[in-house]
Structure 1
């Protein structure tokens, strides 16, 4: 069960070029303050990136309206500059990374299943797409 103001969990996958891993990590330590502000202004929160073997990058964030968040960032000059610089880091990606990342489908969430087992409504949804 979800509410009308459900928080959407969004998870996505990209692959960072192995020869650029160190530079990619450095570019995120830290991210430009103005880009951080744009991410927050878009309505994305609890945003994390996780790096695995071979450059496998998993991203996660929560939002109340992912379409609005994506539209906001698509129209942001700061995000356009950031994404233009980040595009070269990824394998097999066409377009801006924040608009073209491979979405992952959520198949399990502990909070949702515990709430369902108790017969209570949840405040989150089950599926996500990303950037």
Structure 2
């Protein structure tokens, strides 16, 4: 399993509308995200519009390719692109991935195997 975290910047003047557009997301888009193999997908919005996203997948490249080819995802991302600052391309394809520096489960497993 791969854990993916990313960051985007939402335009501050569009924060309320951005939140409203995700309450709820189109049912067909939810189905496409799941069909792409992404799960445990969450978005977190900080003050000022910094958006952090997280999801898990078995094959991120395949999930990206699936969504890139999806007509539903193309329509959704076209509508969402205006919400973001300095974004070149579709939000789902241009988000900046974050570097994972810590995972509790992985370190506990490593510590247990070292102790054995």
Structure 1's consecutive aligned runs of 4 or more residues displaced over 6 angstroms after TM superposition are none
Gaps of 5+ in 1: 1-6, 121-131
Shift of 1:53: 1.0
Q: Give the alignment partner of residue 76 of structure 1, picking from 70, 73, 86.
A: 70
Q: Which has the higher contact order (CA 8 A, sep 6+)?
A: 1
Give TM-score, length-normalised by structure 2: 0.97
Quick one: distance in 2 between partners of 1:94 and 1:106?
23
SS in 2 for 1:11: strand
Q: Which has the higher helix share?
A: 2
SS in 2 for 1:82: helix
Give TM-score, length-normalised by structure 1: 0.86
SS in 2 for 1:30: coil
Aligned twin of 1:127:
none
Aligned-residue CA RMSD in angstroms?
0.8
Question: Could you give the per-residue CA deviations for residues 60-99 of structure 1, whole angstroms, max 9, x where no partner exists?
Answer: 0000000000000000000000000000000000100000
Q: Does 1:25 align with 2:33?
A: no
Aligned twin of 1:53:
47
Aligned length: 114
Shift of 1:119: 1.1
Gaps of 5+ in 2: none
Quick one: distance in 1 between partners of 2:113 and 2:69?
41
